[in-house]
Structure 1
Amino acid sequence: MIDLDETDRKLLRALSEDATQSAGALGRRFGLSQPAAWRRIRRMQDAGVIAGRRLVLNKEALGFGVTVFLGVKLATKGRVSLEDFERAISAIPEVQTVEHVLGLYDYRLRVVARDLADFERVLRRRIMTLPGVGNVEANVLLSEERRPGPIG
């Protein structure tokens, strides 16, 4: 585990808000030289604290107005391997995340669709037809607020 000081935490918070910021801009913001900011960021990347950077798309601007969280209980775990289910469900482009969880359901999925009719089509024709799918519970996302992570 890596020791993080307050400057490291400030860099992480700033990068979590906008990962496109340059080391030079971050250095100026936090009173560091560009090389010093870059070395700190690189150290956190090498230690695995920063696991990567990704592009966040605006689903609504792309025409996906509905997000649904699905709880999926596999009907027969012995006949269908978890890996087979994960591989099949991950091949559905509307399924944004696949989380294997402990609890009432075996999996929690984040599914996007253009509207409720499109979601129903994805559910009926793609998800429910997968081998091993048993009970499914859907929760439609009404609103979402970004919360700071553990470095907040």
Structure 2
Amino acid sequence: MIALDETDRAILRVVQGNAMLSAGAVGRAVGLSQPATWRRLQRLREAGVLAGRELSLDLEKLGFGVTVFLGVKLAARARVGVEDFERAVSAIPEVRRVEHVLGRYDYRLRVVARDLADFERVLRRRVMALPGVGEIEANVMLSEERRPGPL
């Protein structure tokens, strides 16, 4: 684990909001010079604290107006391995996230669809047809609040 000071935390808060900012822009936001900010960003990348430069897509503007969280419990008697299920579920384009969890369900899936009819099609033809699926619970997302991380 890397030791973070308040300046590092301030930098992380800024880049969480926009990972595409230049070192100069981040530095201005936290009161550091561009070279000092660049060195800190590089140290955070090398330590693995900053990984990649992901952009988030506005799925609603792309026509995906429905997000559903699925709890999936694998059948107790299924002869399918966890790796087989994960490989199959990861191949479904509408499944945006696959989380292996402890609790009532084995997996939590984040599924996007154009509308509820499209979601029903994805559920029936793709998710329910996956190897080893025993039980599914669906929760439709009504709204989402994006908050900065814990720093």
Shorter-chain-normalised TM-score: which range?
Answer: over 0.9
Report 1:102-141 matches (<5 A): 102-141=102-141
Secondary structure of the 2:121 match is helix
1:5 to 2:10 alignment: no
Q: Which residue is 1:89 aligned to? A: 89
TM-score by length of 1: 0.96
What do you get for the CA RMSD once the two structures are aligned? Answer: 1.1
CA distance in 1: counterparts of 2:132 and 2:31, whole angstroms? 56
Determine helix, strand or coil for the equivalent of 1:60.
Answer: coil
Unaligned runs of 5+ in 1: none
Matching of residue 32 in structure 1 with residue 32 in structure 2: yes
**Count of aligned residue pairs for this structure pair:** 151
**Runs of 4 or more consecutive aligned structure 1 residues displaced over 3 Å after TM superposition:** none
Q: Deviations over 1:40-75 (max 9, x none)?
A: 001011111112220100011000000000000001
CA 1:78–1:118: 2 relative to 1, 3 Å: closer
Q: Once the 2 structures are TM-superposed, how far is the Cα of residue 26 of structure 1 from its aligned partner?
A: 1.3
SS at 2:9's partner residue? Answer: helix
Q: How far is the alpha carbon of 1:32 from its aligned partner?
A: 1.4
What is the rounded CA distance, in whole Å, between the counterparts of 1:43 and 1:77 in structure 2?
Answer: 48
> Runs of 5+ in structure 2 lacking a partner?
none
Mapped pair 1:44 → 2:44: yes
- TM-score where L is the length of structure 2: 0.96
Residues in 2 aligned to 1:76 and 1:89: alpha-carbon distance in whole angstroms: 18
**Structure 1 vs Structure 2: percent identity of aligned residues?**
74
CA contact (8 A) 2:17 2:148 kept: no
